[in-house]
Amino acid sequence: MAVVYEGQLKGHRGWVTSLACPQIPETYIKAVSTSRDNTLIAWGGNQDRNSEECEYGFPERRLEGHSAFVSDVALSNNGDFAVSASWDRSLRLWNLQNGSCQQKFLGHTKDVLSVT
């Protein structure tokens, strides 16, 4: 199996810290990235969209709510939900269909660096 460069995703205003893809490739959301700009971006496939922002996909939803770097993300098997970890000492559960934060998990006393 060969790795083939397909293009790049452009949308974050800071360093990208992680990227996750759903296990089911037929989902509308193709990937979710996290960044030092305190956001997550849910990426849609490049389906007849022309934009200077993207070469391979487009930012379908920008998920905002963390007050510090977002360090990691994990997706549900079907790609409908994401859990993000942040340096703001919280985890958040996101609904990727509508972009809303469904739940905040508070209680860590230090930065949350990863989630699986």
Task: Supply the pLDDT for residue 24.
Answer: 84
The yes-or-no verdict on residue 18 having pLDDT over 90 is yes
Angle value at C-alpha 29, between 26 and 34, nearest 5 degrees: 140
pTM reported for the whole predicted model: 0.87
Task: Supply the pLDDT for residue 47.
Answer: 58
Q: Quick: pLDDT tens for 37-96.
A: 999 999 987 655 555 544 667 899 999 999 999 999 999 988 999 999 999 999 999 999
